[in-house]
Structure 1
């Protein structure tokens, strides 16, 4: 069993909390009805309860419902369209040029991967709802840990000191949720612990969300654990720095301002924080990535555990889905031999990024072609298109995870390799403060780790076209691609098309309005302050 921040022990607590929430699609703000509906004072007599309550906030990133991995606590949504990491993967990766999902009868997937979504798409609703659940849980934790309540309960000085850190982590998880709302929707229902329970939430736009996320993460930095000093699965200063680096890298998209120097500043903080690349690229995506050499590269994981946190999250989806319909290669990946029968395949534009001799031995190239065609002319034909073996339920030391469906592989939401590439991009976009020697060193370090023979690049070899392609080679299927393509001006319009973009076999231009997802119809009904995004 993983030695992690044990969300298995708080699964029941997480689910009790959910039932005390308003969780129907009429109110996806999902705020507590009443403090005592959530947890009675008896709960807090044991001072370890505060850590368990914090674990409930983290638990919402992995768990979905009360009756096992197939259940969901958001009415009208199943576990597959409401698990945080999975819907994030769909909205950031399935919508772009790397991945195809074979089973288009699965609710919402056809619309996402063909870029024909609307405000009633269940995956979009799942992301909007699940993120607001995290916000609600974080707000509740903060309400329960005020100085006044801790004093009233005679909480010890030692526990109070720990709770300072816990509160910073809850605020970070809330800020991260608002970051994803800003990126995907440009709006959010906005509440904090200062808002009275059951008051109607405000609607914050992108600028307001940017300012809140930025100020909140800066404010809590001193109270967070140092990088690599917290329990596995818990946030540290490094996670706050990573989110700040991300919002600064994308600031021109979000608020129309250049903040590349700020991005560089936070990339340098992360790089100086003690993180190190895993010895092998594959270690980041294996069942023991919490203890193998990836433990110092992964800045923040979404926990997956085949025994205690079973869920249909991103790594379970990608390992089972990567089993080819022709290859039946699941045993090598640590799941059932047939997996999910060819659920996932690759779009040809991604495959072509690995064309050429220098990528034949590149360990990031886990593409299997076999007798398959590169073209996918019929999405329902699972024998068309190449497959990928990036993620597995195997361990770096041999053996496999404990379950043959629900994998032990944590999802690397943020990792150091991304920081290296952001450092280079921010410099190329005009940010100041980068060391050119470091820049080329970071890129060549990634190439060397991947055993790519072209690992002596100079500054003249590295431009923005190189960066966008190298980001796909390094970070594919890690829920970054849509964001990257938007930042590079390649997601909408017709200057870069990919298979099935806009529902065309070879791709067609997309309207600029698709840079944002629609606000779900159910959420508009519950909060009149939200306004539908243009084009929907």
Structure 2
């Protein structure tokens, strides 16, 4: 797999990188980056590209010159790849498409040559290479703008390494652009690096809500630290519940607050309007705009892949009819009876929970025929409609920013970590944190919670937002001898357990073959 020129997809950030560079990972031909070649470095443009890699896929929109070769450019999108890896093998979503690699994701039966697994791996290393390049070129600069940019770049590198530790475990590790084969480090060593990087860059990041919208501030570092600590036992074998709760509480008491209306978080004007106040909650968005950031990943993927033209108007002509909901997703909202075959508005009313934004008209709850999108209820959560009633900027490409990091995560992290630190006791701070989210959703509050109900609450609050796999692994409900199955888990309609080795994705065969320093994850 080859990484293309490090050029921005948006005209305002067009890069003039004329180096020829061999990548940080042996099989990555980052072209160009040769440390011996003289080049003109455009600092602001490269810095913009670092953020652009989250929401754009190449050098021109919407397709035609992708960052990562060997995979469909739309599929190579940062968020789309993460979403597929974290949603399709779980109890939340199932994809009816017969595209290469999709059934293996649905069933958790992928191998080391899987195209999307390989694409995800190289997408993350492309972004890390770009961060390393920027940090090398700005080394020694002490002006305030560069100091802030370097801190955010270190955060972004840590964010990409976070997905590598979560998805792949023991991985190649590089902090500079080099032609040498990188060494593989353990998951525990990478955990230490991510922790130290986030703590080191946080003091130089801008104060909460003082940075430009779309850029990370201190609160983003706190939230990522809380997420890292919440999963510390999975990554290192040593729990860090108190640290997870502490950093989550820093987020909860910051100037970011829960948006009053849940659905506003997933609408076309979630970057702020006279009606939509979602920016109060969104800590780090992946910026999308139907005119200037056209691509087939990001929020267009979220909206189009979950919708069909028969659904209530959702603000784009694109209805790809791909990702539907497994019945276990609906059961989180309807635990004692089947969800009704109604539209999203009526579904919310029936569930008595604003987060139950599903469409059941002319749908079957059970996915008996995997090739049919109407087998399985549809997710109506994501929309290119504006809360203020104005028109979106394009009829096809969408304006909804992906609410990539938001305050609600801190509430559930605090609740779970506090309960675990207390040996499973649902103390008042635990119930208060969860009830804050349930009150926002107009759902019934409870006086106490269990581990099981917290896991369900993660699903209700973050349904189809691209994190479910990690939560199931932390609760022991994903790979291995689990007491929890869902429809088509392991490739059978009634669900069956699959091996615990699928709790990690494999190091791609291409990289193993080109770098003798690498050892494959167990079971592949």
Same fold (TM over 0.5): yes
Of 59, 84, 88, which aligns to 1:94? 88
Report the Cα offset of residue 29 of structure 1: 7.5
Counting only pairs closer than 5 Å after superposition, residues 476-487 of structure 1 correspond to structure 2 as 476-487=463-474
Q: Is the 8 A contact 2:24 2:178 kept in 1?
A: no
Give, in angstroms, the shift of residue 446 of structure 1: 1.1
How many residues are matched?
499
Aligned to 1:3: none
Deviation at 1:526, TM superposition (A): 2.5
2:306 is equivalent to residue 322 of structure 1: yes
Which among 322, 337, 359 is matched to residue 343 of structure 1?
322
Residue 112 (structure 1) aligned to one of 105, 118, 128: 105
Q: Show CA shifts across 1:361-388 (max 9, x none).
A: 3110111112321111111122211111
Q: Secondary structure at the match of 1:61?
A: helix
- The alpha carbon displacement at 1:95 in A equals 1.6
* Alignment correspondent of 2:496: 508
| 1:84 matched residue in structure 2 | 78
Q: Does 1:297 align with 2:281?
A: yes
**Preserved contact between residue 277 and residue 416 of structure 1 (Cα < 8 Å):** yes
Give the conservation status (yes or no) of the 8 Å contact 1:264–1:431: no
Does residue 419 in structure 1 map to residue 400 in structure 2? Answer: no
CA shift, 1:258, in A, is 1.2
CA drift of 1:200 comes to 2.0
Aligned to 2:344: none
Q: Offset of 1:17 from its aligned partner?
A: 4.5
Note the C-alpha offset of 1:530. 1.6
Is contact 1:10-1:56 (8 Å) kept?
A: no
Pick closer, same or farther for the CA change 1:261–1:376 going to 2, 3 Å: same
- What's the C-alpha RMSD, in Å, of the aligned pairs? 2.4
CA offsets per residue over residues 442-470 of structure 1, 9 Å max, x none? 22221121111x13x22xx2111110001
* Residue 183 of structure 2 is aligned to residue 202 of structure 1: yes
**Cα displacement (A) at 1:259:** 0.3
Does structure 1 retain, via aligned residues, the 8 Å contact 2:55–2:298?
A: no
Tell me whether 23-32 or 490-499 shows the greater mean CA deviation.
23-32
> Within 5 Å, which residues of 2 pair with 1:82-161?
82-105=76-99, 107-147=100-140, 150=141, 160-161=143-144
- Deviations along 1:205-234, whole A, 9 cap, x unmatched? 201110100011111111001121111111
Q: 1:349 to 1:414 in 2, by over 3 A?
A: same
Q: Is the aligned partner of 1:443 residue 2:434?
A: yes
Cα distance in 1 between the residues matched to 2:38 and 2:297: 26
Task: Report Cα offsets for 1:83-142 as digits up to 9, x if no partner.
Answer: 10000000011121111112122x322211111111111111111001101111011101
Cα distance per residue 1:17-49 (max 9 Å; x no partner): 498555799723748532575841xx5xxxxx4
Q: Which whole-Å CA distance do the structure 1 matches of 2:426 and 2:81 have between them? A: 37
Whether the 8 Å CA contact 1:354–1:360 is kept in 2: the answer is yes
Deviation of the 1:58 alpha carbon: 1.1
User: Deviation at 1:527?
Assistant: 1.9
Q: Which runs of 5+ in 1 are unaligned?
A: 1-5, 44-48, 151-156
| Secondary structure of the structure 1 residue equivalent to 2:421 | coil
> Quick one: structure 1 residues 505 and 29, their matched pair in 2 at CA, closer, same or farther if it must change by over 3 Å?
farther
* 2:111 counterpart SS class: coil
| Counterpart Cα distance in 1 of 2:18 and 2:221 | 26
TM-score by length of 2: 0.90
CA distance in 2 between counterparts of 1:18 and 1:228 reads: 36
2:421 corresponds to: 430
Superposed CA offset, 1:280-316 (max 9, x none):
1011111111113110211111121111111122321
- Distance in 2 (CA, whole Å) between partners of 1:266 and 1:306 is 35
Moved over 6 A (4+): 23-26
**Mapped partners of 1:298, 1:380: distance in 2:** 35
Residues 96 and 481 in structure 1, CA contact (< 8 A), matched pair in contact too: yes
Counterpart selection for 1:12 from 3, 11, 14: 14
Higher helix share: 1
Matches within 5 A, 1:22-421: 22=22, 27-28=27-28, 30=30, 33-35=33-35, 39-40=39-40, 43=41, 49-71=42-64, 72-105=66-99, 107-147=100-140, 150=141, 160-193=143-176, 197-291=178-272, 292-324=276-308, 328-329=310-311, 332-336=313-317, 339-340=319-320, 342-355=321-334, 360-421=351-412
Distance 1:255 1:287, change over 3 A: same
For residues 242 and 38 of structure 1, the distance between their equivalents in structure 2, rounded to whole angstroms, comes to: 39
* Partner Cα distance (2:438, 2:410) in 1: 15
Does structure 1 retain, via aligned residues, the 8 Å contact 2:96–2:372? yes
Report if the CA contact (8 A) 2:26-2:179 is conserved: no
**Is the Cα contact below 8 Å between 1:260 and 1:431 reproduced in 2?**
no
Distance 1:31 1:235, change over 3 A: farther
How far has the Cα of 1:423 moved from its partner? 0.6
Q: Structure 1 length normalisation: TM-score? A: 0.88
**More divergent stretch after superposition (85-94 vs 402-411):** 402-411
Q: 1:55 to 1:281 in 2, by over 3 A?
A: same
Partners of 2:498 and 2:391 lie apart in 1 by: 42
In the alignment, what sits opposite 2:449? Answer: 462
- SS of the counterpart of 1:220? helix
**Post-superposition CA distance 1:248-279 (Å, at most 9, x none):** 10111000001000101101111121111112
